[in-house]
Amino acid sequence: MKWVTRARPKVDRVACPWLIKRFVDPKAEVLYVPADRVIDVAGRENAIPFDVPNAELGHHGAECSFDAIIKKYTLADPALNRLAVIVRGADTDAKDLAPECRGLEAIAEGFRLVYQNDHELLEREMPVYDALYAYCLEAVRRKRS
């Protein structure tokens, strides 16, 4: 399946493709296009739009697109829920939702500065989310012990 969002990804537009590829659609193809072309490209390419205004998989209230994907695809994983709080804080004005939020925001901005090609940025930053997920898995495991 194809998925489409705005070019020059920040936190949510990398976290969402990570979530999609790891838990929803391992063969997902992510398209980054200018913001004003997302809906047009979604229609033409039969792609699912995300992290754009008025999209089902977008920001709703205090929640970000990462939250919307978790809900839509009923991903019932305590570690993903913990990661969602970090992503939400890093991607919105609620920077203090978790101690890791500001760090993730800084890392995401650093990737934007280092990589001008959105697909290369996504490929290089995916391991950051793998590591954060592992961190969240361990935190959940410790809490249960």
Question: pLDDT for 43-83, tens place per residue?
Answer: 999 999 999 998 999 999 999 999 999 999 999 999 999 99
- pTM here? 0.95
Place of tokens 């935190």: 139
CB atoms within 10 A of CB 108: 23
Q: Residue 4 pLDDT > 70, yes or no? A: yes
Per-residue pLDDT, averaged over 9-25, amounts to 97
Q: Distance between CA atoms of 63 and 91, rounded to whole angstroms?
A: 9
Place of tokens 């200018």: 34
For the chain, how many structural domains are there in total? 1
First to last CA, the chain: 39
Per-residue pLDDT, averaged over 107-128, amounts to 98
Per-residue pLDDT, averaged over 76-96, amounts to 97
Q: Residue 17 pLDDT > 70, yes or no? A: yes
Per-residue pLDDT, averaged over 111-130, amounts to 98
What's residue 145's pLDDT? 64
H and E: helices and strands count for the chain: 6, 3
Q: Distance between CA atoms of 116 and 121, rounded to whole angstroms?
A: 7
Secondary structure letter of residue 117 according to DSSP = S
Phi and psi at residue 120, in whole multiples of 5°?
-65, -40
What's residue 144's pLDDT? 78
- Structural domain harbouring 41: 2-144
Q: Residue 92 pLDDT > 70, yes or no? A: yes
